[in-house]
């Protein structure tokens, strides 16, 4: 719902920087938690490059780094509180 709300704001050109930072931080963190659970479900095979879940795990991990690291997002949010 939060992602949908942010998309709606973006389309209306009303998405402010701190809400965008909240979205980037929270959704990419959540993505990593979910993919981690999925990999765990696959057991050892989930870690092997041959399985798509391993690629998803690697792809998810970088989301917390690029586009501004999540720790930096926290700093940007904190400045507006």
Ligand X SMILES: Cc1cc2nc3c(=O)[nH]c(=O)nc-3n(C[C@H](O)[C@H](O)[C@H](O)COP(=O)(O)OP(=O)(O)OC[C@H]3O[C@@H](n4cnc5c(N)ncnc54)[C@H](O)[C@@H]3O)c2cc1C
Binding site residues, ligand X, CB under 6 A: 62, 65-69, 71-72, 75
CB of 72 to ligand X, least distance (A): 5
CB of 44 to ligand X, least distance (A): 27
Residues with Cβ < 8 Å from 62, sequence gap 6 or more?
Answer: none
Q: Cβ closer to ligand X: 42 or 61?
A: 61
Q: Quickly list DSSP for 23-70.
A: HHHHHHHHHHHHHHHHHHHHGGGGGSTTSHHHHHHHHHHHHTTSSS-H
Q: Cβ closer to ligand X: 18 or 42?
A: 18
């Amino acid at each position: 719902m939060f992602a949908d709300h942010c998309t709606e704001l973006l389309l209306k050109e009303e998405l402010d920087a701190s809400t965008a930072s909240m979205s980037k931080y929270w959704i990419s963190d959540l993505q990593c938690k979910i993919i981690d659970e999925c990999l765990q479900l696959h057991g050892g095979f989930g870690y092997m490059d041959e399985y798509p879940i391993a690629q998803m795990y690697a792809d998810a991990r970088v989301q917390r780094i690029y586009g501004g690291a999540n720790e930096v997002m926290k700093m940007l949010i904190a400045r507006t509180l």
